[in-house]
Structure 1
Amino acid sequence: MVSLVPLVQAQRSAPTPTSKPSKPLLRRTTLAGTIRKRDDAGLDDDFLLAPPSPNKRARVTFNPTVEEKIMDEYSVKGRSLELIRSETRRAIEAHKRGDSEAYDTIKEVFAPRKGGDDEEPEMRVEMRTYLLALSSYASELDRRCSGLVKGVIACEWMGRDKGFVEAYVRFLGSLASAQGAYVGMVLGMLVGHFHGVRLSSGRIEGCPDVNRDQLALRIHKALEYLLKLIPSASNTLSAILNAKFPFQDETKTVHITYIKNLTQLIEYAPELKSDIFALITDRLVKVDVQMQLDLDDLDDDVTAAVAKTVLTQSSEENDGEDSDSDVDSVTSDEDIHSDSRRVKEISGNIEKMDAILDLLFTIYSPYFTDPNSVEATSMFETLLAHFTNIILPIRHARHTQFLLFHFAQTADHFVDRFAGTCVDLAFRPGQPAVLKQSAASYLASFVARGAHVEPEVIRTVFELIGSHLDNIRVENELTCRGPDLKRYGTFYAMTQALLYIFCFRWRDLIISTDVLEDDDPTGFLDQDLDWAPGIKETLSRAIYSKLNPLKICTPLIVSEFAKIAHHLRFLYVYPRLESNKRIRLSQFSSSQANGALRETGNGGNDESWHQLESYFPFDPYQLPMSKRWVEDDYVQWKGVPGLNQDEESDDDSASEDDEEEVEIEENTATEDDNE
């Protein structure tokens, strides 16, 4: 990745971080296989923060009667803890020899109670006592005892009294330390609760009620204890977090709950930070793509119904996290029309996408409080890595990339860094054509739409792209037979980027400040404007070259550029457009295959299959709740002074021009976003 500045030897010097890390915050070094002492792993009497059992006696230390007190507390049916330990050891040994009667009796202790059966106080003491006994013989619980281990791991434990929960977590630590084969099972059980815990789990008869926050805290404290005890378990945990991430069709509540738990995990497992943020971004892109594909399949009436439903849901937003309900409410679809079901399904996906992005903006934002800090620099590098490896290769993503759009504009040096990365990706040798064209689209869309992208950056981008266009043109013009998207895709993508930037930011390409400060729209008429050096020459050489980009670039963008350029006396390209009407792209195509940005099919004689698509990834942000994060970062479309009056003066073509303008706004996002 490179910065924009050294590529063009720009004169300005962007602010630099006060201290820059040599590398992003990645996995901390750990000794694989290292197991710490349990007392050093942070499990103390107060770590569970739950009300103690009213029958629990205070722990006594350095007291001659301590042995007697412990034996009394854990006696079961007249049998002491030591006796149960002996019974447990003999049961395990007998089971391995083929006699499982006593072993099955222990399994039954942890089995779920049958419906209607009350759990007696003696049963609770029995479970805790056997937990202590099993902890003592964790080294004997190999794969032959997997049935018993699974039963213990699956038992109801989160909502019990503090003493039981502490004993249970210590058992998990002993088991994972002694039997590495069970580490994945233990971690999987804990992560499984990241989807959300049921209130019923905290309401066990005979135990103090435990609310959802306390239940969730117990899960994280158990994980924290295990990771401190076995640092190498982080590798296993990373894979489990990936495998248990909610499926796309899971509810918004499940996704939000899981992501919140992931970010809480980072607080005590910073070595997983990079993996976790990459995982969230990857899954978010998948949700984003599916949502956009679903919307593209809808007709206009259903799309309008979806938009109305989403706005209504946004205004009545209520996550219901404090609700006593264990599951999301479900409405029967038996009497609902198929279109209504489709509207409900897609609206739910949009609402889910909106909530996830709003949460991620909230999570990332504190890192950028000081854009010059090490934390900000490290997090921005993480976001750039996500962009390059996850977001850029997926063309249908519609909103995920706005994380980059927003945070790149928090400082000039981040603007420069992101623009430089896009330029590097667009011109990197050996890069697939589709990635080069996507990078060009991201660059154009960012520069055109970024409200905090300074005019100097816009001019620098124009200069940099122009120099590359000249190089490509010189290398290929002598052998060029005519316009060919397959052969010269990068040239056309970058030319289209300049046309798009010009349509939005032509004011920033003018040096005459007195003209810009004139409120009179006619100030742009009847005079030649003073453009930044090389701007006009660069586009003129590209447009009138044999590569003929105006025939390949998206017609709607070309049409808009032609109108604005003519109105501002920048370039007059209508003769070129007229001559292009007589050109058939299929006769010059190096292959009948579609252009690099096309999806399927070869298009036959359809000229559009040999042209670039109108893909600009920072087109208007539509999600209602999370939109607040990018509203101040966004350049809205502004009409060119005097251009509308010129169109309206032509009565014979006014209606036709209006229809064309609407189509341009819908397809190139050069619309008044406030309408």
Structure 2
Amino acid sequence: MPSLVIGADTTSMQVATPRGKHAGPAAVVAHTAKNIRPILKTSAQVLGKRRMSDDEDTMDELNTDALSGARKRQKVEFDLNNIEVHEIGVRTVDEIKTEIRKALEGHERGDDEEYDILKDTLSGKQVLRHDDIEDGDPSIPEKRRQELKIYLVALASFAPQLGRSSSGLVKSVLQCEWLGRDDQFAKIYVQFLAALVSAQGSCLNPVLTMIVDKFSAARVSDWSVPNFPPVNKQLVQRRLHLALQYLLSVFPAAKTVLGHVVAQKYPFHDDSKRMHLAYVDNMLRLREYAPSLKNEIMDLIVSRLVKIDVEMQMDLEDMDDRVTAMVAMALKSSQENNLEDADDDDDSDAESVDSEESEEDNEYARVKTAKESIEKMDYILDALFRLYTPHFADPDSDDAMDVFTDLLGEFSHIILPNLKSRHTQFLIFHFGQQSEQLMDAFCGTCINIAFESSRPPVLQQAASAYLASFVARGAHVPGHIVVKIFEVLGFHLDQMRTNYEATCRGPDVRRYAPFYSLMQALMYIYCFRWQDLVRSVPEDVDRDDLASYLDQDLEWEPEIREVLRRNIYSKLNPLKVCSPAIVEQFAKLAHRFRFLYVYPLLESNKRVRLSQFSAGAYSSGNALRDLAFDLNDESWQQLDSYFPFDPYQLPVSKHWVEGDYLPWRSITGLDDDDDDDDDDVDSDNEDDLDEENGIEEDTATDDEEGVDN
């Protein structure tokens, strides 16, 4: 597709997306947050800059005698006399030091008998000696378990010797299950890790990897140690993050390594819901004491969330009605039984799907996969809504703008390029409606992406669709913003038409996709927000009675009618290319409101074959539509009705967006027009505008009452 040259200077309307450093598709982010300009207000406003305060060390709980002063020393030193472990085992620290020294020396000589025993001991495996058995003291096994503390204290003094030749021993220590033991053991273990990393820098990555590996642990069996009292999930998380926070405070360089580790260890998309939720919860805890990783963590969570979102949407689209009904039933059953809270229960739902019956019938496996994907999406989004909400208590504050700037960055380089994303974008939809300042920022960002000729056409079209969907569907978007956006889009539509008409032979979605997507966006806004585009009405019109507007002489905002007329009747013939469902609804409303009468054009378009104007044998793929085509079916040369803010149907997190969404409002008597020979669309199908490329009625994520009753 040739490069699009916008005739107008759009710089005054650009709101650049933040975090331009991200490697998004083809320069998704072109400016920094410093260059952000509002489009809806005349006064210059600059988005708040992200405030990156230094990490604050809040290590009170680890600031015991054993850890006193450690934060102030780059090289960790331990006062072993302050750890009173001499009397809990069978032997003293000096005796165990001698044992460790002999094992390491023997390993250097190639004699690994004592070395292997030491590895087993340090991995947490209980080792009884012959003299213990002969002694017959019943307290010996317990003392041996407690003696592991002395081993760790003693081994810390050998940290400089635990180089590459002792990697097996270090690996054994890192395999030790320390979270399920007592508090004293956990503190000693963390001290040892700090000593190890201080002496052996190469151990930093495996130490951090061991800790981050625990982020996915969510059940008691994941950390329990035989013969030790059970440790609850809250205490495990506390120990885990105190350890990580301590290491980060002692070794600031660990933050860079940690960023790579958390990305590497993120659960795979097909891992269980329990693992995903536990990992995300721990990531959100991590960002509280590692602000330098805050944006990296959120980008990671959102990007993985979008992947689940897209895969879930594609799976649901491939299912027939019977299978989607089974998914809906499984979700309902899960909610009724509160399975999301059963962290310590067995995977009963997985077992039911993995039975012999389900192996013979692939439908059960598909139902399980879809159900788990929906629940992952639902609970992670619920956590993100909960995380961000306090920052918008005052939506006009600098804090709210800072957080929203980050959300805009995630939207621009992660959400926007994924056209199948179905629910993740509602974060920006919800928080973007909290104030006009935030609406301004989001609308400006979309306009910046939609009308910069350097952007890939697919992103330009997506940005137009997002802008139109936000303005049309946002219940809190005031009428004056609707009018302003309509005027801005109309201005750019005229500029595109002027540029394209000189070489246009007829409607061609491949050559002029940005024009058609923008025209479709304007019709979509008109269908939902026509009442805001009316400047004045006759006295007998009741603004609360939509039917009273029909067949009235309404005064519209200046230029709105003429802008649409000029472009609808241009050589580009957008009503032939835009989605038939949107064109039909627009034609019906425009006629009954005496706005435009386009039915003669629609009738003549029936005799127009798009293939005669097509620039190639098939589409380039730049339009937002299904690329499968049939020469006898022109639908492949038309735009899909892609508008990303379809009704939100995830059952748990849905409550966050209740009241944010403007549903389709049917108008009594709209179809009662005998003069309209092309107006045979059944009134029951008016909700077609609610099904744009999304989950339709009676699917897994719908409530019992369907979409937009």
Bucket of the pairwise TM-score, normalised by the shorter protein: 0.7 to 0.9
Partner residue, 1:609: 636
Residue 319 of structure 1: how far off its partner (Å): 2.4
Aligned partner of 1:567 in structure 2 is 592
Count how many residue pairs are aligned between Structure 1 and Structure 2.
645
| Matching residue within 408, 429, 440 for 2:464 | 440
Is residue 590 of structure 1 aligned with residue 609 of structure 2? no
Query: Could you tell me which residue of structure 2 aligns to residue 45 of structure 1?
Result: 64
* CA drift at 1:533: 0.6
Specify the alignment match of 2:71 in structure 1.
none
The SS at the match of 1:638 is coil
Distance 1:219 1:516, change over 3 A: farther
Deviation sequence 1:414-467 (CA, Å, 0-9, x none): 111101111111111211111111111111111100001111111111111111
State the 1:159 CA deviation. 2.3
2:661 pairs, out of 634, 648, 665, with: 634
Q: Is the 8 A contact 1:395 1:438 kept in 2?
A: yes
Kindly state the Cα deviation for residue 126 of structure 1 after the two structures are TM-superposed.
3.2
Task: Give the aligned partner of residue 231 of structure 1.
Answer: 252
Name the amino acid aligned to 1:540.
R
Residues 1:468 and 2:481 aligned together: no
Letter paired with 1:92: L
Give the 5 Å matches for 1:192-211.
192-200=213-221, 204=225, 207-211=228-232
Which residue in 2 is equivalent to 1:376?
400
**1:478 maps onto 2:499 in alignment:** no
Are residues 1:272 and 2:293 paired? yes
Cα distance, 1:667–1:260 mapped onto 2, change above 3 Å: closer
Residue 50 of structure 2, aligned match among 18, 21, 24: 24
**Contact 1:512–1:531 (8 Å) recurs in 2:** yes
Matches within 5 A, 1:59-208: 72-73=86-87, 76-77=90-91, 80-113=92-125, 120-200=141-221, 204=225, 207-208=228-229
Verify the 8 A CA contact 1:138 1:178 in the aligned structure 2.
Answer: yes
* Partner amino acid, structure 1, of 2:395: P
1:310 deviates by 2.4
Distance 1:381 1:504, change over 3 A: same
Query: Match for 1:280: what amino acid?
Result: I
Aligned equivalents of 2:653 and 2:259: distance in 1? 28
How far residue 356 of structure 1 moved from its aligned partner, in angstroms, is: 1.7
Amino acid at match of 2:370: I
Q: CA–CA distance in 1 between the matches of 2:65 and 2:235?
A: 13
SS at match of 1:633: coil
Contact 1:199/1:324, CA 8 A, preserved across alignment: no
Distance 1:233 1:164 in 2: 23
CA distance in 2 between partners of 1:3 and 1:68 (Å)? 56
Give the TM-score normalised by structure 2.
Answer: 0.83
Given the two structures, how large is their TM-score scaled by the length of structure 1?
Answer: 0.87
1:657 is displaced (CA, Å) by: 3.2
Letter in 1 for 2:323: V
* Residues 172-321 of structure 1 mapped to structure 2, 5 A cutoff: 172-200=193-221, 204=225, 207-321=228-342
Q: Percent identity?
A: 46
**Is 2:380 the partner of 1:367?**
no
Separation in 1 of the partners of 2:272 and 2:64? 37
SS at match of 2:556: coil
Instruction: Report the counterpart of residue 15 of structure 2 in structure 1.
Output: 2
After superposition, residues 465-614 of structure 1 pair within 5 angstroms as: 465-512=489-536, 517-519=542-544, 523-594=548-619, 595-596=621-622, 597-598=624-625, 600-601=627-628, 603-614=630-641
Deviation at 1:497, TM superposition (A): 0.2
Question: What is the CA–CA distance in structure 1 between the aligned matches of 2:250 and 2:61, rounded to whole Å?
Answer: 9
- Give the counterpart letter for 2:282 in structure 1: N
* Structure 2 match to 1:54: none
Equivalent pair of 2:299/2:410 in contact (CA under 8 Å) = yes
**8 Å contact 1:252–1:355 — kept in the other structure?**
no
Q: Is the 8 A contact 1:593 1:601 kept in 2?
A: no
The CA deviation string for residues 622-675 of structure 1, in whole angstroms up to 9 with x for no partner, is 11221111120010111235313437x99x999763476465654589999442
1-structure distance, mates of 2:480, 2:39? 13
Q: Which residue of 2 aligns with 1:450?
A: 474
* C-alpha separation in 2, matches of 1:284 and 1:466: 35
Change beyond 3 A, Cα 1:205–1:539: closer
Q: 1:412 matched to which residue of 2?
A: 436
Q: How far apart are 1:111 and its partner, in Å? A: 4.0
- Which of 670, 674, 678 in structure 2 is aligned with 1:643? 670
Shift of 1:46: 8.6
**Alpha carbons of structure 1 residues 3 and 81: separation in structure 2 relative to 1, 3 Å:** closer
Partner of residue 26, structure 2: none
Unaligned runs of 5+ in 1: 31-35, 49-60
Mapped partners of 1:207, 1:122: distance in 2: 13
Inter-partner Cα distance in structure 2 for 1:317 and 1:104: 47
Aligned counterpart, 2:652: 625
Q: Are the aligned partners of 1:3 and 1:418 in contact in 2 as well (CA < 8 Å)?
A: no
CA contact (8 A) 2:524 2:582 kept: yes
Three-state SS of the structure 2 residue aligned to 1:435 is helix
Contact in 1 for aligned 2:149/2:188 (Cα 8 Å)? yes
Query: Which amino acid letter does the alignment assign opposite residue 589 of structure 1?
Result: S
**Aligned partner of residue 330 in structure 2, secondary structure:** helix
Query: Are 1:402 and 2:423 matched, yes or no?
Result: no
Q: Which region of structure 1 is more displaced relative to structure 2, 661-670 or 638-647? A: 661-670
Shift of 1:75: 6.6
